[in-house]
Amino acid sequence: MRYHFVLNGYLQNCQKLMQEMKSFKETYLSAVEEGVTYLYCQSEETARQLNGRLTENARVLIAKEYVPEVVLKVLEELANPEDLYIFGSDYAGEELAVRLGARLGGSSLTSVSSIQIKNGTKAGIKAGKMVYSNHMEAIFRMKKGPYCIGLAKGLTKAEPYPGQMYIAEVHNCYEYDAASYIIERSFEPVEQEESLEEAKVLIVAGRGIGKKEHIALLQELAERIGGQVGVSRPAAMNAWLPMNHLIGVSGAMTNPSVCITAGISGAAAFYAGIEKSKFIVAVNTDEHAPIMKNADVVIVEDFRPFIEALDKILEKS
Ligand SMILES: Cc1cc2nc3c(=O)[nH]c(=O)nc-3n(C[C@H](O)[C@H](O)[C@H](O)COP(=O)(O)OP(=O)(O)OC[C@H]3O[C@@H](n4cnc5c(N)ncnc54)[C@H](O)[C@@H]3O)c2cc1C
């Protein structure tokens, strides 16, 4: 088994990715046979301008713009099913690692911070990643090659070997027509909300609110009082709000002045995310739900009339 790096040369901070990869190599890969660095970038010139190298030689995949399909197509052709492919901690590295693993019937894991490869062979590769807001490291066995991993952000950095890359091969990807993969382009503004961790008033929706449309009721109330809306895991899994609104050990750990929970049972994994609240109001139809024991005020009722009534009172005040 050999290991290879797959590096995003379209990025301004490609050097930072190289430093993380070099540190990963020094810490975990000394017993594994070195492969090559696959650098995907705009031109051979870009590759030549890079300062430092990770492996003895590099294969450069050239395309005018970054289109995942184009890079994947070449990697798919070149990949060896026995080998380990290490992608950077950037957005493209994460996507390519998962998609290459899936296409070639191998294994993939992202945000990897450690790896164990017994005797440098593929038998029992185990990769580690931090989970539950960095509270625990989970170890995953990777069973089938090719083994595709994306590195975690913020790994320690080591300076790559000095000198230019030795470019062993250049793959011109122009022949794969990027345009045929892109049906339409549009840009969506990034949500610039206050982070949930900083919210002074938090309203959290759980499975008990029943459906996505009911989130709007909570959003109206939150807007009126300058608060934020979060969700429990079932609500996030139903896509009632994006995953960055998840509260609990797998999401945001908050400490608002006031937290109102609606249709939330109060499971331990959720409650850890709101336990630092100064004042908790729980609205639940079940008076025996665990959240009721931990709340300062409990409302045993359907969440909807309560939220609507509260909104009306606040509208008048
Ligand atoms: C390792 C691990 C990590 C996890 N991490 C998280 C995490 O970070 N965040 C998280 O949220 N969960 C997490 N979970 C899941 C967690 O254990 C619970 O399953 C989850 O929090 C339950 O969400 P809920 O309260 O919305 O749903 P439920 O437990 O189904 O509760 C729904 C509640 O709504 C009430 N209800 C029903 N209808 C109404 C109504 N009309 N009005 C008012 N109340 C109503 C019900 O009485 C019930 O109490 C994790 C689980 C595991 C195993």
**Residue 286 alpha carbon, nearest atom of ligand 1:** 47
Residue 190 banded pLDDT, cuts 50, 70, 90: low
CA–centroid distance, residue 119 to ligand 1 (Å): 44
Q: How many CA atoms lie less than 13 Å away from 65 in the CB half-sphere? A: 6
Ligand 1 pocket list (CB less than 6 A): 206-208, 232-235, 246-251, 263-265, 267, 269-270, 273, 283-286, 289, 302-303
Q: Which residue has the CA at smallest separation from atom 38 of ligand 1?
A: 208
Using one digit for the tens of pLDDT, what is the confidence trace for 124-176?
A: 799 999 987 678 899 999 999 999 999 998 899 999 999 888 999 999 887 67
Nearest CA to ligand 1 atom 49: 265
- What's residue 194's pLDDT? 67
Report the pLDDT value the prediction gives residue 261, as an integer from 0 to 100.
98
Pairing of strands 228-231, 201-205: parallel
Domains of the chain: 2-181 (3.40.50.620), 196-316 (3.40.50.1220)
Burial profile 243-266: b = 16 or more Cβ within 10 angstroms, e = fewer? eebbbbbbbbbbbbebbbbbbbbb
Using a pLDDT cut of 90, give the percent of the chain over it. Answer: 76
Q: Which atom, in ligand 1's list, is nearest to the CA of 265?
A: 49
Contacts from 249-252 at CB under 8 Å and sequence distance 24+? 249/132, 249/133, 249/135, 249/273, 250/131, 250/132, 250/133, 251/133, 252/195, 252/196, 252/197
Residue nearest to atom 28 of ligand 1 (CA): 265
- Summarised one tens digit per residue, pLDDT across range 18-68 is 999 999 999 999 999 999 999 999 999 988 988 899 999 999 999 988 889
Which band of pLDDT confidence, cut at 50, 70 and 90, is reported for residue 316? Answer: confident
